């Protein structure tokens, strides 16, 4: 075997390993999103996540790992689509962002057109 053949064999093995770990990470992200949507009473649309970003990053122990960010869509009413993301560092899920605005005690979105203060009471003179 020549050096070029050995290098191409190593590159093919590396690509196969990256593909394998990416598929396992995607399965973990899908399972995490199904569980999170079920726990919140949301609909996990299209039943899949899509890779948005992948880059090397150091984990908590200082070792290099791939950070993957997967995007997904869900619905809280069945009539809309909202976006969220799940972040994995290596094989571990480190963050889930549902992209939802926090709700006040009256059930209205804090970014919506509410006349109340943060305590939920009406503003004087409103």
Please give the pLDDT value at position 116. Answer: 34
Calpha distance 56→90 (Å, rounded): 9
What does the pLDDT read at residue 101? Answer: 54
pLDDT at residue 112 greater than cutoff 50: no
Burial class of residue 23 (count of CB atoms within 10 Å of its CB; 0-12, 13-18, 19+): exposed
pLDDT at 65: 92
Find the range with the poorest average confidence among 13-27, 66-80, 105-119. Answer: 105-119
pLDDT-based confidence at 125, cuts 50/70/90?
very low
The Cα–Cα gap between 25 and 9 comes to: 24
User: Could you read off the pLDDT of 32-71 as tens digits, one per residue?
Assistant: 999 999 998 899 998 889 999 999 999 888 999 999 999 9
Quick check: 99 and 75 in contact, CB under 8 A? no
Count of C-beta atoms within a 10 Å radius of residue 26: 17
User: What pLDDT, in 10s, does the model give residues 93-106?
Assistant: 999 998 765 554 44
Q: How confident is the prediction for the chain on average, in pLDDT?
A: 81
Give me the count of residues in the chain: 126
| pLDDT higher at 18 or 108 | 18
Determine which of 42-56, 79-93, 111-125 has the lowest per-residue pLDDT on average: 111-125
pLDDT at position 117 over 50: no
């Amino acid at each position: 075997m020549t050096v070029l053949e050995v290098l191409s064999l190593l590159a093919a093995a590396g690509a196969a390993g990256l593909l394998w770990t990416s598929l396992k990470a995607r399965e973990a992200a899908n399972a995490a999103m199904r569980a999170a949507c079920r726990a919140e009473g949301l609909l996990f649309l299209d039943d899949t996540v899509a890779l948005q970003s992948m880059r090397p990053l150091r984990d908590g122990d200082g070792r290099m790992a791939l950070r993957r960010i997967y995007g997904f869509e869900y619905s809280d009413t069945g009539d809309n689509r909202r976006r969220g993301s799940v972040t994995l560092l290596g094989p571990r899920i480190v963050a889930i962002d549902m992209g939802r605005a926090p709700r006040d005690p009256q059930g209205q979105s804090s970014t919506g057109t509410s006349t109340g203060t943060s305590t939920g009471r009406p503003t004087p003179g409103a």
